[in-house]
Homo-oligomer: A and B are copies of this chain.
Amino acid sequence: MTAPTPSDTAAAFERHDHSHCAGAVMQAAEGRARAEGLRLTPVRRRVLEILLEEHRALGAYDILDRLKAEGFGHQPPVAYRALDFLVEHGLAHRIRRLNAFAACMHPDTDHAPAFFICAQCSAVAESAATPLRDAAQAAGLAIGFTIERVTIEAIGTCPACHPGTAPSPQVPS
C-alpha cells in the first residue's frame, strides 16, 4: 500500500498468492478512482483485471482477444483506449521494450518506476527508480537537457530463473 520496497519488488518473481495481491491492487486502484473521480468503466476495469490476473506484460492484441471473448468490442481501439486510460492515470504501465502493458502494482503511490524484465519467464517487476532518475537528472543537467520523463527498462534473469531453478522460456532478448 505504500512505496515499493526491494522485497516488495522481488516478490513479483516469487510464487505468491497472486489472487490476493491482485485483489489488493485492484482495491487500491478502485480507491484511487473514487478519490479522483476517474471512471473505471467495465472495459477499463476488465482490462486492469486481465493485466493483474496475468501479472506480466501483455500486448494490446492479447488483451483485445480476451475482451472479444467476453463480449466487449473487438476492434483495436477498444483495447488501446482502455490501456491509454489506465496508463494515463497510472494504473498500468507501458513497457516499450516489449510493446506491451502491465498493471501497476503500486497504484496508490505517485511514481515513475524502472522495470526488470526476465528474459526467461517474461515476468516483469516494477521498482522505484529514484536513484536512477536522480542520476539521469544529473547527467541531463551536465549537458543542459531538461528531462521530462525517463524510460528505464532492464532485461535479464529473475531470481526464479537463475541457474539452479529452471522455469520455462518465453521472451526473446
Interface residues of A (CB under 8 A from B): 6-7, 9-10, 13, 96-97, 114, 116, 118-119, 125, 127, 129, 131-132, 135-136, 138-140, 142-159, 162, 173
Contact = CB atoms under 8 A, between A and B. Distances in A.
A148 B120 CA distance: 12
B155 A152 contact: no
A143 B13 contact: yes
Contacts of A138: 131
A132 B133 CA distance: 8
Contacts of A119: 148
Nearest to A6: B142
A157 B145 CA distance: 6
A9 B150 contact: no
17 contacts: A6-B142, A10-B142, A13-B143, A96-B97, A118-B145, A131-B135, A136-B154, A144-B159, A144-B162, A145-B154, A145-B158, A146-B157, A148-B157, A148-B173, A150-B153, A151-B153, A151-B154
